[in-house]
Structure 1
């Protein structure tokens, strides 16, 4: 089987470019999700990892689609290699060595994957640092207000307020996050964000 895994960090981003790229590889199945790659606790990613078997091939548009953490990328690649699952990275065709020596091919591939994983994480850290510095400068100029909250106790929209109150009540009853998200028509990340604000004692905007 040839399967593809595609991911964007947010639902606002479009999956079309990745879908178009992997379909050119004649994949049999596509696992897709729109979720941060901060760790490997992603539903479709875990489904894909459980699905592949020895002799299969996993196709990804770029190495950072597996995740944004250097150690997570290396661990994922190691697991795939142990299962004898080939990894094809579309924007890094030079990773596919064919010297005739399997041990040498693997060693060279490992070296380049480690390097690319480090570069991906380093670039991510630089972006975060630039964002942090930009926020600091905006705050100093008094122009940074942050992203407005949608669900909170003083929300102008009655529906948004009701969602917040319902989520708060369900969290108190220790209902599973997935169930809360489904019943309120919101994402799990939104439930976690509300939960964090409640725990920090910040239940309303501002």
Structure 2
């Protein structure tokens, strides 16, 4: 049994590595060692998470997917959560979360078959419930954000997201130096729409 740690943050400005020490301590307390760590800066509401699926691809039956909280694994809608669960089950990977004590039993190799099946059923139910709560929290925050923007616009206070002046200056310099759009997107993580806006602003005619 290999323990594989998955660490996720929603944006590149957040530290996906933040919980590494907690996961390592949790494993060490149980006489286990984390065999591999997978870091990702992607939204938990999206299935487009290369590192998560690389972890699953690397896993063998009985391996453990260790996470700090269930919402690090999923803020997915019901359909996407079912797809992810199907992938996890097909690979016979055990999900263990620090915030879900019922999942800790998955680390035991001495439990009899009946007890293990009971733990599996309870853990699956709890995972479903917490994943649903995580999705509701995500939807609620987005709704409140949208309501706040509408109100701010009505009051004449909305200015949109502040521009990352330092990053954009670097992108403009890369455009002027003749680097391709694909190279710039890969290097900076900016969207092509942002790149197009900056290229238009500087009247730079660089082709992708």
TM-score normalised per structure 2: 0.74
**Displacement, 1:3?**
0.7
Structure-2 separation of matches of 1:70 and 1:118: 8
Structure-1 separation of matches of 2:82 and 2:101: 18
User: Does the aligned pair in 2 maintain the 1:64–1:120 contact within 8 Å?
Assistant: yes
Write the deviation string for residues 16-41 of structure 1: whole angstroms up to 9, x where unpaired: 43111111113111000222223222
Structure-1 separation of matches of 2:140 and 2:200: 32
Structure 1: runs of 5+ lacking an equivalent: 172-176
* Number of aligned residue pairs: 185
Which residue of 2 is the match for residue 2 of structure 1? 3
Structure-1 separation of matches of 2:3 and 2:18: 19
Match of 2:155 among 124, 138, 141: 141
Confirm whether residue 129 of structure 1 aligns to residue 143 of structure 2: yes
**Displacement, 1:90?**
0.9
Confirm whether residue 94 of structure 1 aligns to residue 119 of structure 2: no
Q: CA 1:73–1:90 in structure 2 vs 1: closer, same or farther (change >3 Å)?
A: farther
TM-score normalised per structure 1: 0.75
Q: CA 1:121–1:181 in structure 2 vs 1: closer, same or farther (change >3 Å)?
A: same
User: Does the aligned pair in 2 maintain the 1:6–1:19 contact within 8 Å?
Assistant: yes
Higher relative contact order (Cα pairs below 8 Å, separated by 6+ residues): 2
**Displacement, 1:137?**
1.3
Structure 2: runs of 5+ lacking an equivalent: 28-32, 106-110, 203-208
Note the aligned Cα RMSD (angstroms). 3.0
Match of 1:29 among 7, 14, 36: 36
Which residue of 2 is the match for residue 57 of structure 1? 64
User: Does the aligned pair in 2 maintain the 1:74–1:113 contact within 8 Å?
Assistant: no
Which residue of 2 is the match for residue 181 of structure 1? 185
User: Does the aligned pair in 2 maintain the 1:40–1:46 contact within 8 Å?
Assistant: no
Structure-1 separation of matches of 2:155 and 2:75: 32
Write the deviation string for residues 52-79 of structure 1: whole angstroms up to 9, x where unpaired: 1112111011111123213333432332
SS in 1 for 2:188: coil
Which residue of 2 is the match for residue 174 of structure 1? none
